[in-house]
Amino acid sequence: MNLRELRELSGMNQETLGELAGVTRQTIAAWEREDREPSMQQVVKLCRILKVPLDVMLGLSEASEPVLLFRADAADTLSPALKQLLTRKAFDYGEIERLAGTLPNLPGSRPMATFDEHIVEQVANEVRDWLGVEDAPLGDVLSLLEGKGLKIFLHKLPNSVSGFSAYTDEVGGAIFVNADHRTERQYFTALHELSHLIFHRKEYQSPASTSAKVGRSDPREQAANFLAGAVLLPRTIMEAELHPYRNRWLPFSLLADIKQRYSVSMRTILVRAGQLGIISSRQSFQQIAKINAKYGKEDEPVDLKRPESLRRLNRLVYQALIEEKITTSKAAEVLGEPVYSVKEELGRWLSEEIG
């Protein structure tokens, strides 16, 4: 049973889980050590609390079960239980799409063996055209990508992991973003993973190529980071915003203002300014070092609004429920919600349709 791992992924300690399950912390610990076994009724309750399917909790998988092709910057963190859970989520989403008559989506492939910033800059402009934003701020990146038919999941992941991406031709592209990270980091991560789906799709079929940890000097990571920054802050925007400050120290207040308007980290602004020659690479590193010294390497001042709730899957699920293509219990499993909540929400959907 995958109880310990799934509990830790949820961010819940043994005592809290025990209280919710109606048992002691010691009982939870014994179940995790497999010194004792919970009853099936207790297993079902644990699944409901942790919002995971029964087969994932029990570590069951069929040999004929389809496999989602994953790529992860830290592939060794993608444990069997986590991989099974994320795979299940993506395939459930794909099944709901099929029932709704909606085709899965996957960005066009542009294989890139080495990092070429000119090509990446061009593709970044194409991505912005695809998203339909022209020179405007992107706003909620996750909702934008979801609106293009990509499967976007906010999910608790180990803090060292920003996100994963995966795909199959049948299911389309899926991007998993760490639900606990700052908003600007979530947006950057989603575009970073979109880059891998565009440039490095062959690697998803070759686990050996991603088994080792990779760093920022890796050309694949350079391409993914460059594209994410270029989509968030294209050249035209950067030159318009920073032209008066060319080769000058960028004021902290200016960085904070651009961050709020474009939903991007101060560090990304400084990196892009250095990439485009607006300031020197040395100055970019110096200003980032000052932010790191004051706030740490992960935090920044100015908190952005959290992303809006992802709605596409909800809409498709309730559409399938109204058309009686799935059961309420299946809808609850797919959405990770209690059955009573799904029934209440379904009532609201039905009343809106009648109204």
Q: What are the pLDDT digits (tens) for 321-345?
A: 999 999 999 999 898 888 999 999 9
Residue with tokens 């920022």: 216
Identify each DSSP E strand in the chain by its residue range: 69-72, 151-155, 163-168, 172-178
Which of 119-128, 163-172, 210-219 bottoms out in mean pLDDT, i.e. has the lowest?
Answer: 210-219
Across-strand partners of 178? Answer: 155
- Does residue 158 carry a pLDDT above 50? yes
Can you give the pLDDT at residue 212? 44
State mean pLDDT over 174-189.
95
- Residue 23 DSSP label: S
- Does residue 235 carry a pLDDT above 50? yes
Can you give the pLDDT at residue 61? 61
State mean pLDDT over 55-74.
68
CA 203/CA 197 separation, integer angstroms: 9
Can you give the pLDDT at residue 351? 85
Which of 5-9, 28-32, 168-172, 350-354 bottoms out in mean pLDDT, i.e. has the lowest?
Answer: 350-354
Other beta carbons less than 10 A from residue 138's beta carbon? 19
Can you give the pLDDT at residue 120? 96
Can you give the pLDDT at residue 63? 47
CA 105/CA 121 separation, integer angstroms: 23
Contact at 8 Å (CB) between 79 and 145? no
- Given pLDDT bands bounded at 50, 70 and 90, which one contains residue 64? very low
Other beta carbons less than 10 A from residue 257's beta carbon? 13
Q: What is the DSSP string of 92-151?
A: HHHHHHHHHTPPP--PPP---SS--HHHHHHHHHHHHHHHT-TTS----HHHHHHHTT-E
Which of 1-5, 12-16, 226-230, 245-249 bottoms out in mean pLDDT, i.e. has the lowest?
Answer: 1-5
- Given pLDDT bands bounded at 50, 70 and 90, which one contains residue 208? very low
- Given pLDDT bands bounded at 50, 70 and 90, which one contains residue 264? very high
Can you give the pLDDT at residue 215? 60
State mean pLDDT over 121-136.
92
- Given pLDDT bands bounded at 50, 70 and 90, which one contains residue 113? confident
- Given pLDDT bands bounded at 50, 70 and 90, which one contains residue 148? very high
Can you give the pLDDT at residue 206? 56
